[in-house]
Every structure is written in structure tokens, then in C-alpha cells.
């Protein structure tokens, strides 16, 4: 390709990285971990022909806001200047060659920004640019941790009024207590056409997971998520052999194609679970979706976070058929930062595609600047 042809499509001339302090209260989705602060790290890429893309990564830390994702991007930025932003596959492979010192989340923020830019350049919503399998997907409320069963029963009723008909619980990560909570929910809300899942945060013993899975199956739950750490493939395989309940991994540590293929080939999971922001971006996540589809697996994305990181996962889901649910953290008003756009659930419990190009979010960059506690800015 000649230099003239490459210039026609624009080269990366500026990258700005913002570490944004959010107003989200400290939270924890498991009693096994402390309450955490949340940070949005945003990559903003501008090309020589006037196009711009943004990608966001949501991270959680205990004592201070997270600068690590931004610092992970820093070694890549000067090497990206002058490259053609539309060559996403080539750029992603170049970034992956530096994986010894660069975390997946840092690569993901930059990769997502380039996909946002490419779709905006085509004047298309990203999910349509990726193929456009559908324009909405059912959301489940990913619920906070409460002290006892009754708050779950009451909160489900409140969330139904907002449109939700699917719910994922986090509780004590103790088999007997978790079963008690799920049974109380089933007694109050079973038979109403609602879907229920449970996330054990990788904290069960093999014996405890089997007890919980069998109880959940009797109550008609949809899946048990993360009974063990992702790498306990023997534990997952044995649990699946002994229960009919669908079993999913947590999706935080096994995110590469060879390892996912190995787990599928050895019957470890009933579905794949990843997050585009921890898997390295949209580029590798599309390949995971294709690998899963070829093996008749769903990919149920983790989408916890604010709108920019959630949007990347949502567009991947809308572009493919092999996923059933969108994870929506609740109370979701806490996670919606106006400056970064909003993703909301409709009255039927679905999230819907935006007609805007790219990720479909209108970002208020002046407001982002005001919320930024740390910034990196490189340009030609």
C-alpha cells in the first residue's frame, strides 16, 4: 500500500488518556472482597483526517483511584502515532507483542477506541458495522449484596417495575446461606416468568458447588456462575458431569483463544464468559464469539461498569446471535455518568441499540476534563 493511499485513510496523530474519578459510591459484589472505588480510563484517538474514537475501561481498586490502566497504555502511545487507525488487526497484534509489560485492559481501551473511530468514519452504529444480528438484547439486573434474603425479594419487585425480568444474585458465597436466599426468592417469585442466576465469585469448594447447583436446578435457575476460579478446569468438568444446571466461568482470567478452546474441548463449561475490556478489546472478542459459535456455545458477556465499557460489550452482543443476556449493574443510575452517555433498560427489560455512529454515546469532553484526575497526551 502506498503512502498516499494510507494517508487517504488517516493516521493517528493524537492520543489522550483520561483517568476519570466517578461519583459511584464504594461497593462490593461479594462479601469476600472489600468495598471498592471505581475508575474510568478513557482513550481518545484522533486521526489526521479529522476522525475521533473513544474507548473506556472500568476498573475497581481498594484505596485510591486506578492509574494503572492509563500507565499501561503509556508505553504504546508513541508507537501508535503515525499508524493508520483502520488497520485494527495489525495494530492489535503489534500491541499483543508487548504483552509482557502491557495488561489486557490497557490494550482493550485503545482497541475499542479504534473500533469506535472506524464505525464513526463509516457513519454506522458499531453493531451494524460489525454485522448487525439484532437491535436489542435482554438485560439482567446484576444485584448488589444484601444482608439477608428479604431485601432480595423486595428489590426484585422494585426492579420489575423498571422493566427487568431477569436477575443475577451475589450473596454470602456460603452454600447453605446462598441456597436459603435463593429458595426464599423462589418461594416469593417463582412461577412468574422471571429468570434467575447466581454468581459465587469463585469461592465454593467442589462439594459446596455441587450442593448449590443441584438446589438451583430444582428451583429452575438459569445458571451458576464462577463456582471456582476459572483455571480449575477439572473442578468445572466434574461439576458439569454431576449436575444438569448450566455452569459458567467467571470470565476474568481465561480470555485467550487457545485456553477457551481447550476448556470447550474438555467439556468444562456450558458457555463462555468474557468481557471485552479484560479480553483485550473488540478485536479478540469477535474471535471468541466466532470460536464459540463454531462449537455451539454462547458467550455471556460480563458488562459491569459505566456506559463506555458496557457499550463495547453491548455492541458485540448485538452483532452476534450466540448470547442471551446483557449484564446491567443495579442500581444502574449509580453507574450512569452523564458526561459519558447512558445505557438504560426499556419497559420490556431490554437494552436497545443507539442509532448514533460508533459506540452510540455522546461524550461531554469538557465535563470529562473536569472529572479527570490524571491525563496523558501524546501527539505528532
Read off the pLDDT of residues 336-348 as tens digits, 9 standing for 90 and up: 787 888 899 999 9
Q: What is the pLDDT of residue 6?
A: 54
pLDDT of 140 higher than 90: yes
pLDDT at 266 over 70: yes
pLDDT classification of 170: cutoffs 50, 70, 90: very high
Cell digits of residue 260: 477457551
Cβ contacts of residue 56 below 8 Å, gap of 6+? 40, 41, 42, 43, 109, 112, 277, 305, 306, 307, 308, 309, 311, 312, 340
Average pLDDT for the chain: 94
Structural domains in the chain?
A: 3-123+365-379 (3.30.390.10), 127-352 (3.20.20.120)
> How many Cβ atoms from other residues are within 10 Å of residue 18's Cβ?
22
Higher pLDDT, 317 or 21: 317
What pLDDT is stored for residue 5 in this prediction? 53
pLDDT of residue 2: 46
Structure confidence at residue 1 (pLDDT): 45
pLDDT at 30 over 80: no
Reading phi first (left if > 0) and then psi (alpha if -120 to 50, else beta), residue 82 is in left
Under 8 Å between Cβ of 279 and 104 = yes
Kindly tell me if the per-residue pLDDT of 3 is higher than 60.
Answer: no
Confidence (pLDDT) at 181: 98
Residue 32 has pLDDT above 90, yes or no: no
Is the pLDDT assigned to residue 7 strictly greater than 70?
no
Amino acid at each position: 500500500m502506498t503512502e498516499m493511499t494510507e494517508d487517504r485513510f488517516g493516521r493517528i496523530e493524537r492520543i489522550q488518556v483520561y483517568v476519570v474519578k466517578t461519583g459511584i459510591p464504594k461497593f462490593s459484589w461479594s462479601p469476600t472482597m472489600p468495598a471498592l472505588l471505581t475508575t474510568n480510563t478513557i482513550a481518545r484517538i484522533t486521526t489526521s483526517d479529522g476522525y475521533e474514537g473513544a474507548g473506556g475501561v472500568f476498573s475497581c481498586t481498594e484505596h485510591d483511584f486506578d492509574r494503572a490502566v492509563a500507565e499501561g497504555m503509556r508505553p504504546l502511545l508513541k508507537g501508535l502515532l503515525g499508524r493508520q487507525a483502520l488497520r485494527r488487526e495489525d495494530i492489535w497484534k503489534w500491541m499483543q507483542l508487548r504483552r509482557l509489560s502491557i495488561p489486557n485492559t490497557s490494550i482493550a481501551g485503545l482497541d475499542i477506541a479504534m473500533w469506535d473511530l472506524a464505525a464513526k468514519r463509516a457513519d454506522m452504529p458499531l453493531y451494524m458495522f460489525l454485522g448487525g444480528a439484532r437491535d436489542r438484547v435482554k438485560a439482567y439486573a446484576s444485584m448488589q449484596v444484601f444482608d439477608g434474603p428479604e431485601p432480595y425479594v423486595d428489590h426484585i419487585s422494585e426492579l420489575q417495575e423498571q422493566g427487568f425480568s431477569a436477575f443475577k444474585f451475589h450473596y454470602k458465597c456460603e452454600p447453605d446461606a446462598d441456597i436459603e436466599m435463593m429458595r426464599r426468592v423462589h418461594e416469593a417469585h417463582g412461577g412468574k416468568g422471571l429468570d434467575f442466576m447466581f454468581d459465587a465469585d469463585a469461592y465454593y469448594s467442589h462439594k459446596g458447588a455441587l450442593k448449590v447447583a443441584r438446589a438451583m436446578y430444582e428451583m429452575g435457575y438459569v445458571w451458576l456462575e464462577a463456582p471456582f476460579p476459572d483455571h480449575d478446569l477439572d473442578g468445572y468438568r466434574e461439576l458439569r458431569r454431576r449436575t444438569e444446571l448450566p455452569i459458567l466461568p467467571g470470565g476474568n482470567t481465561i480470555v485467550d483463544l487457545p485456553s477457551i478452546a481447550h476448556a470447550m474441548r474438555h467439556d468444562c463449561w456450558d458457555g463462555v464468559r468474557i468481557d471485552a475490556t479484560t479480553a483485550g478489546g473488540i478485536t479478540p472478542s469477535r474471535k471468541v464469539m466466532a470460536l464459540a459459535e463454531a462449537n455451539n456455545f454462547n458467550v455471556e458477556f460480563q458488562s459491569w461498569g459505566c456506559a463506555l465499557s458496557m457499550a463495547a460489550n453491548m455492541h458485540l452482543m448485538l452483532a452476534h446471535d450466540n448470547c442471551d443476556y446483557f449484564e446491567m449493574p443495579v442500581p444502574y443510575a449509580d453507574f450512569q455518568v452523564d458526561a459519558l452517555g447512558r445505557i438504560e433498560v426499556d419497559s420490556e427489560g431490554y437494552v436497545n441499540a443507539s442509532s448514533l455512529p460508533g459506540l452510540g454515546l455522546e461524550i461531554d469532553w469538557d465535563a470529562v476534563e473536569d472529572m479527570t484526575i490524571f491525563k496523558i497526551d501524546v501527539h505528532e
